[in-house]
Amino acid sequence: MSLRALFSLIAVAAALIFSGSAPAAEPVKAGDFTLPDYNGTPHSLSEYNNAKAIVVMFIATQCPVSNGYNGRMEALYADYKDKGVVILGINSNKSETIDEIKSHAKEHGLEFTILKDTGNVVADRFGASVTPETYILSPSHEILYHGRIDDSRRESEVSSRDLRTALDEVLAGKTVSVKETRAFGCTIKKVD
């Protein structure tokens, strides 16, 4: 093949990519998983395929940032549970026991389902690294949003309610306008 023909092929490929004619990327999907809640009852992601959206939140009992969001997380649950949204909390910290998770939930009035990810298998699969860190999944487990709950550790200083905005767009049948934000918080304490 001549150099001129090679450049022609490159130009055609570039034109297709930049014109939007290139094939769309496959959506990223979360695989099914089964984890126990703090009462030992197993829950599978596939149980919630009839939900309009599934929110997966990686949370902690000892992280001050995650604890600063306890009220906001429970408010999300209260505001969206009757709209077909499932909220799942996942604790992947190796040092936080089932008993600690249970007493923490009761102490802070957390009524959404909280699961224990022993060995941080699910956190690793999602690529979650901090608490709190959130994902919105479609009923077919496509990841629609990943990132923070909002933009400030101090609730009084919040100016962007990213997770709520994305949920509202999903429930309205719209494409999520901001699919990724930077989550911040304490590092998930993982097994070696």
Could you report the per-residue pLDDT of 123-177, keeping only the tens digit for each? 999 999 999 999 999 999 999 999 999 999 999 999 999 999 999 999 999 999 9
Residue 180 DSSP symbol: B
For the chain, where are the alpha helices, taking DSSP H only? 3-19, 64-68, 70-80, 98-108, 121-126, 162-171
Could you report the per-residue pLDDT of 83-104, keeping only the tens digit for each? 999 999 999 999 999 999 999 9
Using a 10 angstrom Cβ sphere, with 0-12 exposed, 13-18 middle and 19 or more buried, the burial of residue 87 is buried
Q: What is the pTM of this model?
A: 0.85
pLDDT score of 25 more than 70: no
Please give the domain boundaries of the chain with CATH numbers for all domains. Answer: 27-187 (3.40.30.10)
